[in-house]
Amino acid sequence: MTETDLIKKIRLLKQIRPSKDWVLLTKRELFKEETPVFKAYRNPASVILRIFPRLFLNYRFAVATFVVLGILASGAVNLAQNSLPGDFLYPVKRISEKGRAVFVSEKEKPKAQLELANKRLDELTKIAEENQVRKLAPAISEFQASLYQAAKDLKKPSKLTQEIVDQTQRLKEKREKIKVSYGINIGESEEYKNTLREIVQRNIEVLEESSLTENQETLLVEAKEDFDAENFTGALVKILLLSQSK
């Protein structure tokens, strides 16, 4: 067969058209069996069985991730408790303190904030003892911020308690010790000083209208002398003693 004859036969094959019946029958046979993947996903139960293991593995991975993160966070918080202002973990310590403060009642806030101010002075004392000069400025700043918040909380109407007076007295004693031992004079912020002045003045005015014994009158006179000398902590101590003896 020559090349010319072959070309002619090919052209004749192109002209051949299958019948409609044959086309329909062939389609039915070809698509009667669905592909395994398509069949599987038409069955909801099969879909769930295929997907669930993946979801379960993802869930286990997520839980494991949260557990690890929780352990790391807990460890960081524990390590941060001994950190000092200027240390890498100190912000973690402050965040932890703020988190606990959320659960403190309004009544207990003045005492709690004064405790924090005393804690800041303890940190400052340790820094001074170890001569960590670089950390002195942030430590003083942290103390002043804590003292400012204590002044705000003390302004709220609250009864003068033994705990408040004790914490106030500790603040004064620690400041004096830091000044004498390390030559660091941080003093009192004006906000805190004015707050103590208001508290003392308010209590003196109430006591002046009260019926007092001779010993109580003596304590009141001493409290007024401390007030005039701007020794407000000393005045608070005497006012508390006077109130307890009534």
Q: How far apart are CA 232 and CA 169, in angstroms?
A: 10
The H-or-E segment that residue 146 falls in is helix 136-155
Q: Give the number of domains in the chain.
A: 1
User: For residue 206, is it within any domain?
Assistant: yes
Establish if 244 belongs to a structural domain: yes
Residue 166 within any structural domain of the chain: no
User: Within a domain: residue 239?
Assistant: yes
Asked if residue 198 is part of any domain, the answer here is yes
Range(s) of the domain holding residue 244: 188-246
CB count, 10 Å around CB of 75?
10
**b/e burial code for range 7-46 (CB count within 10 A of at least 16 → b):** eeeeeeeeeeeeeeeeeeeeeeeeeeeeeeeeeeeeeeee
Location of structure tokens 């007295």: 169
Residue 131 forms part of a structural domain: no
Q: Which pLDDT tens digits describe the chain residue by residue (246 residues)? A: 544 554 455 565 555 565 556 556 555 655 554 444 444 445 555 555 555 565 555 554 444 444 434 444 455 567 788 899 999 999 999 999 999 989 999 889 999 999 999 999 999 999 999 999 999 999 999 999 999 999 999 988 667 899 999 999 999 999 999 999 999 988 778 899 999 999 999 999 999 998 999 999 999 999 999 999 999 999 999 999 888 876
3-state helix, strand, coil in the chain (%, to 5): 80, 0, 20
Q: Which residue type, as a one-letter code, is found at position 27? A: K
Q: Which residues, in sequence order, are CB contacts of 132 under 8 Å at separation 6+?
A: 84, 86
| 120, part of any domain | no
User: Is 218 part of a structural domain of the chain?
Assistant: yes
Of 52, 50, 27, which is closest to residue 39 (Cα–Cα)? 50
Predicted TM-score (pTM) of the model is: 0.67
